[in-house]
Structure 1
């Protein structure tokens, strides 16, 4: 499989290592906004670029009939446009706030727990995420996905960053050292607490998930998620 990498930072470099170890070829490493891209050389693209570049990269790939996997966060105000473009071009597109296989199982656990707790409003829900100091967006895309899972299955109707006013689900974001990513959901009342937590030990899990998604999407058409890749639905 011939893979183009949009974004060649730490994640891009790790994706390259994983892809090569699985017998794939990296045919492009695009780390700046350019139109000098030969789309005929690639079978699939993986984007871990910058928030301001992601939508443009997705657009270029879909316009050239290249399936694209996107793990960049912070651009989701244009997500619906990406879906519309993918469908109009009969393309293939996967966005995930986190490609880690373990995190996607964690998403399922989060949804299940939220459904169980829905009729117990005495429990207050809070969410904390910790990442490395180089992470640009806050809260993390993973934290937003977790919050949306709670909102969809509870009486909460919005989340706020470090603010639980008006009954909002509060997300606390911390940037500490080289932390790859830790997400904790806490249900708490006066008598006890229930906590679920996912801790990433390194970035390799994110890279493996992205390459796995790229392998899966070849030959498919449509907008998909990691639930489809992992057959969780």
Structure 2
């Protein structure tokens, strides 16, 4: 498989290592200094591009790959208000695209457990729910895409919640409801601390007990490996895919 890496930061470098370990070829690396090289000419012969950049550039990067007839795997978060638009565009062009907010297998298992737990809580009632996500200080978007996916999973099953709101907090702080919090909204607390790859915690609390569902990523390698596996899955296909399709 001949690949392109779009975004050569820490994640891009981890992806590079795993691609080479698995016997794949890297035909193009795009970063800020050569962003203009992301075109049909430079993408010629590329099977799959792996895109991990910024919320400001992801949409255009993915669209350029689709226009060049190159399958693209993206894990950039913070821009998904335009994701449906891009999915439709990909289908219209007969392209191939894979998107998920988190490529860690454990997180994707958590997505499923999260929906199941929310459905059970909906039947018994009496619990309120909140989310907390902790990431490194270089993460530019808040809340994380993973936290948004978790919130959407809860909203799909829990009748008493209709949306979510985000609140930034300092490291080490404990959750305290804010005056005027709308009880129909899930509060997502975002903390930016050190070099934390990612911690997501869902808490259900009643007057008598507390239930926590928590996932901790130990390093970026698990994310990079998931992205490469997604690229292998996508290679040679047409259509729009997610981790649900891969796990099936």
* TM-score (norm: length of structure 2): 0.90
Instruction: Measure, in 1, the Cα distance between the counterparts of 2:125 and 2:188.
Output: 18
Alignment partner, residue 8 of structure 1: 8
Instruction: Measure, in 1, the Cα distance between the counterparts of 2:131 and 2:124.
Output: 17
Instruction: Measure, in 1, the Cα distance between the counterparts of 2:120 and 2:72.
Output: 35
- Establish whether residue 158 from structure 1 lines up as the match of residue 163 from structure 2: yes
Alignment partner, residue 197 of structure 2: 180
- Structure 2: gaps of 5 or more residues: 168-177
Tell me the matched-pair count: 231
CA RMSD, Structure 1 to Structure 2 (Å): 1.1
4+ residue runs of structure 1 moved beyond 6 angstroms? none
* TM-score (norm: length of structure 1): 0.96
Alignment partner, residue 30 of structure 2: 30
Alignment partner, residue 99 of structure 1: 103
- Structure 1: gaps of 5 or more residues: none
Within the candidate set 200, 209, 233, 1:192 is matched to 209
Counting only pairs closer than 5 Å after superposition, residues 120-139 of structure 1 correspond to structure 2 as: 120-139=124-143
- Establish whether residue 39 from structure 1 lines up as the match of residue 43 from structure 2: yes
Counting only pairs closer than 5 Å after superposition, residues 104-123 of structure 1 correspond to structure 2 as: 104-123=108-127
Instruction: Measure, in 2, the Cα distance between the counterparts of 1:218 and 1:63.
Output: 16
Alignment partner, residue 226 of structure 1: 243
> What is the SS of the residue equivalent to 1:52?
coil
Within the candidate set 73, 76, 91, 2:80 is matched to 76
